[in-house]
Structure 1
Amino acid sequence: MILHELVSYDVLRLIWWALLGLLLVGFAVMDGFDLGVAALLPVVARTDLERRVVINSVGPVWEGNQVWLVLGAGSIFAAWPPLYGVAFSGFYFAMFAALVPLILRPVAFKFRSKREDRAWRARWDGVLCMAGIVPTVVFGVAMGNVLQGVPFRFAPDMRVFYEGSFLGLLNPFALLAGAVSLAMLLMHGAAWLHLKTGGAVQRRARRVGIVAALATAALYLLAGVLLASVQGYQITSGIDPLGPSNPLLKTVVRAPQAWFANQAAHPALWAVPAVALAGALLAAVTLAARREIAALLASALAIAGIVISVGVSMFPFLLPSSLDPSASLTVWDASSSHLTLFVMLVVTAIFLPLIVLYTSWVYAVLAGKVDAKQIEEGRTHAY
């Protein structure tokens, strides 16, 4: 038997669907508080020293956290090539709108403290805030559009055609999804600041975090209610989990409440959105109770629940097509080859635990609050 045949093709496809979800959760949780902290900078910090405290709460870890973004994009490229091709070309301007702030973010981190001029630092603080808000909203808007279907189609020779526009992405439901994303990461950023800072910054972060957590729960619940009126997608023909990666070999129709079909068939799946709501509410409660670690864990739980609930609702769809529903990309017809998925799984099994262990070690070494006095006296290599 050939080595890669030890794991069947359909199982490998399921494993990589789960790994993609894991990487997206990792990005939202790990890089999410970086983005939330940056977005909160003008709200929780009033003086230059307070702003330096806020920046240095994420200063040692933000670069490492972006590994999850690279891993997520890389896994889409290698494991789901049609998904990568359609999403990254169709959402080109949206991706550009997200990547430009992410590119400017490290520049702002490095350049802000090069001069002590107040106006100079204020401009870079504005860049940091923008770099926290814009990508957060764009990612949410993109997810809102995915749930509604993306206007693409395949020609008979498998060339892909995207017929949407950037302004078309800014529809009401997608903007609501963007609001959920922003509230979610503001909650997470506030929980991180509540853990890593003290004094006035911590008090402001706690107040903002409570509001953001309640807003996350309310907006997520509203989005779930409105999702019931969004036409989802349903496969009406037979589909072979071991079949070739050709999305044109099936029949798909749009149907009301189709995104809740998996929960209807398996009621236990309702636990996922329940965990998301409970996590957000628990974050508000623990912030109010000044439970620092519990608040951050509850916030992370809410984020994981929100991200996973989208995947659970859409399965087996990865990217539905609003132009030609039968061209929608699914777990069963948009993957790389059997051998490619197996080799990637072996590599991931080796390196992902190393990344987790190294990240855990870094956070253990950097545990504790940011010392404002040391920053003020210049006794640290702080931003």
Structure 2
Amino acid sequence: MAFLDYEVLRLIWWALLGVLLIGFAITDGFDLGVAALLPFIARGDVERRLVINAVAPTWEGNQVWFILGGGAIFAAWPLVYAISFSGFYLAMFLVLAALILRPVAFKYRSKSPDPKWRARWDWALFVSGLVPALVFGVAVGNVLQGAPFKIDDDLRATYVGGLLGLFTPFTLVCGLLSVAMLVLHGSAWLAVKVEHGAVHYRARAVGVGAAVVSLVLFAIGWGFVAHGTGYAVEGSADAFGPSNPTRMTTVVETGAWLANYGRHPWMIIAPVLGFGGTALALAGILFRREAAALVGSSLAAAGIIATVGVSMFPFILPSSIDAHSSLTVWNASSSASTLALMLGVTVVFLPIVLLYTAWAYRVMFGRVTTAQVVANVDLY
């Protein structure tokens, strides 16, 4: 990787982090959406087993993207990892507790035929889908607003916020957008994956509402990006300099996030993809084009997440109480040799992960039917 300079390596890893987060939202996102829908669109044990088995073959593999994203932050942006994972510790604990609850619910639900037993685990699955979707969105909202931390001259970080402080009107809008986006994705997945019947049509009906809510909430979020407070690097950023947050001067400016689109017009693709993908998903559901709806919900997730990334560039985690402590692509990365080594590993192994994922989905292709669920006691 000697032909790649430090600036390019930092940009590549910024883009790769976005790819991993989008991969998680698209793959594990429909799992979370389906889990959040379970108690409401499936009536009776057979219908609920139908919904569960629409995601059962692939949900474990989908979580690989979450692990890869966390690993990428740890390795490529260690300061971001240290501050965000310690500052958002209780929020992360809620997410991990919910994600741990999901496999337990999958495994234990079928251990007893008692309807009350199964209903409790169905609600556990609901929690395991709703809580991560909500908290992830709230976390993104806090990143856009800036987190309450500061870094002293010895590079010691101090976080002064608390769990309840993460929930503000704007961050709740982001959390609800995340929930609506993933519920739409889950609805589109069920429309493709389950047989035409009561569950299929209920999923489509919920998907219409989720698409409309997503459009409204994304428009509100875009209004914040366009007219709210953002952060900017004063002067020209040193893309080749050492990773030290104290070497840059950051200022707080109204509309700073929108200014990125003036400097880099191609970035407008991200919000257009967010709105366009959601509209495509809505049209696909209304006109019974299930595959188009799933493509649309996937594009919507990609566009919404990418909008956050490109609006904030080069910031990754700004500070709301000390702008000069803000972490950027240029001042918070690992060394050039570390980034180059990890890129070499990624070039080898990421295609393997993608190929295996594609193969697994190809093997599991096809609709889940009521007849299969009733006849096969080994299914959940």
**Structure-2-length-normalised TM-score:** 0.98
* Letter paired with 1:194: A
Residue 343 of structure 2: SS of its match in structure 1?
helix
The aligned amino acid for 1:305 is: G
- Structure 2 Cα separation of the partners of residues 273 and 240 of structure 1: 28
Which residue, 100, 110, 116 being the options, matches 2:97?
Answer: 100
Contact 1:238 1:250 in 2 (8 A): no
Pairs within 5 Å for 1:206-355: 206-355=204-353
Counterpart contact for 1:237–1:252, Cα < 8 Å: no
1:28 aligns to 2:25 (yes or no): yes
Q: Determine the structure 1 residue equivalent to 2:54.
A: 57
**CA displacement at 1:382 relative to structure 2:** 1.0
Deviations 1:256-288 (A, max 9, x none): 000101112233322220111011011011011
Question: Structure 1: how far apart are the matches of 2:96 and 2:235?
Answer: 39
Give the Cα–Cα distance (whole angstroms) in 1 for the partners of residues 243 and 225 of structure 2.
Answer: 29
CA RMSD of aligned residues (A): 0.9
Q: Which one-letter code corresponds to 2:317 in the other structure?
A: L
Aligned mates of 1:234, 1:374 — CA distance in 2: 57
Contact 2:243 2:330 in 1 (8 A): yes
The AA in structure 2 aligned to 1:85 is A
Instruction: Say whether residues 1:44 and 2:41 are aligned partners.
Output: yes
Distance 1:158 1:284 in 2: 48
The 1:173–1:98 alpha-carbon spacing in structure 2 relative to 1, beyond 3 Å, is same
Q: Once the 2 structures are TM-superposed, how far is the Cα of residue 129 of structure 1 from its aligned partner? A: 0.3
In structure 1, C-alpha distance between the alignment counterparts of 2:346 and 2:299, rounded to whole Å: 24
Whether 1:382 aligns to 2:379 is yes
SS at 1:114 equivalent = coil
User: What is the Cα deviation at residue 241 of structure 1?
Assistant: 0.6
- Match of residue 142, structure 2, among 130, 133, 145: 145
Report the alpha carbon displacement of residue 300 of structure 1 after superposing the two structures with TM. Answer: 0.1
1:156 correspondence with 2:132 = no
Quick one: distance in 2 between partners of 1:238 and 1:274? Answer: 28
Deviation at 1:108, TM superposition (A): 0.2
Map of 1:115 onto structure 2:
112
**Residues 1:266 and 1:7: Cα distance change in structure 2 (over 3 Å):** closer
TM-score (norm. length: structure 1):
0.97
> After alignment, is 304-313 or 258-267 more displaced?
258-267
User: How big is the shift at 1:82?
Assistant: 0.2
Query: Which has the larger displacement, 332-341 or 369-378?
Result: 369-378
Q: Counterparts of 1:126-141 in structure 2 under 5 Å?
A: 126-141=123-138
SS of the equivalent of 2:243 reads coil
TM-superposed deviation, 1:289 = 1.1
Tell me, yes or no, if the aligned pair for 1:139 and 1:181 is still in contact at 8 Å: yes
CA contact (8 A) 2:225 2:311 kept: no
Q: What residue in structure 1 maps to residue 362 of structure 2?
A: 364
Whole-angstrom distance in 2 between the partners of 1:122 and 1:183: 24
* Counterpart Cα distance in 2 of 1:205 and 1:233: 40
Conserved 8 A contact 2:41-2:202: yes
Q: Deviations over 1:141-174 (max 9, x none)?
A: 0000110000101121111100111111100000
Who is 2:72 aligned against? 75
Provide Cα deviations, 1:350-379, integer angstroms capped at 9, x if missing partner: 110000000000101111101221211226
For structure 2, which runs of at least 5 residues remain unmatched after alignment? none
| d(CA) in 1 for partners of 2:290, 2:363 | 18
Shift of 1:223: 1.4
Deviations 1:307-343 (A, max 9, x none): 0011000000000001110110000111111111011
State how far apart, in whole Å, the 1-side matches of 2:250 and 2:270 are: 26
Question: For residues 301 and 144 of structure 1, what CA distance do their matches in structure 2 show?
Answer: 20
Deviation by residue 1:165-223 (Cα, 9 ceiling, x = unmatched): 11111000000000110000000000000001121000000000111011111110111
Structure 1 segments unaligned to the other structure (5+ residues):
none
**Aligned partner letter, 2:115:** R
The size of the alignment, in residue pairs, is 379
Residue-by-residue CA offset, 1:49-99 (whole Å, 9 max, x unaligned): 000000000000000000000000000000100000000000001101111
Deviation at 1:236, TM superposition (A): 0.6
After superposition, the C-alpha distances for 1:17-76 in whole angstroms (9 at most, x for unaligned) are: 000000000000000000000000011100100000000000000000000000000000
1 CA distance for matches of 2:296 and 2:367? 19
Write the distance in 2 (CA, Å) between the matches of 1:135 and 1:230: 26
Rounded to whole Å, the distance in 1 between the matches of 2:11 and 2:27 is 24
Q: Letter of the aligned partner of 2:315 in structure 1? A: F
Residue of structure 1 aligned with 2:173, choices 169, 176, 182:
176
SS of corresponding position for 1:6: coil
Distance in 2 of aligned mates of 1:184 and 1:115: 33
Amino acid at match of 1:90: G
Query: More displaced, 270-279 or 128-137?
Result: 270-279
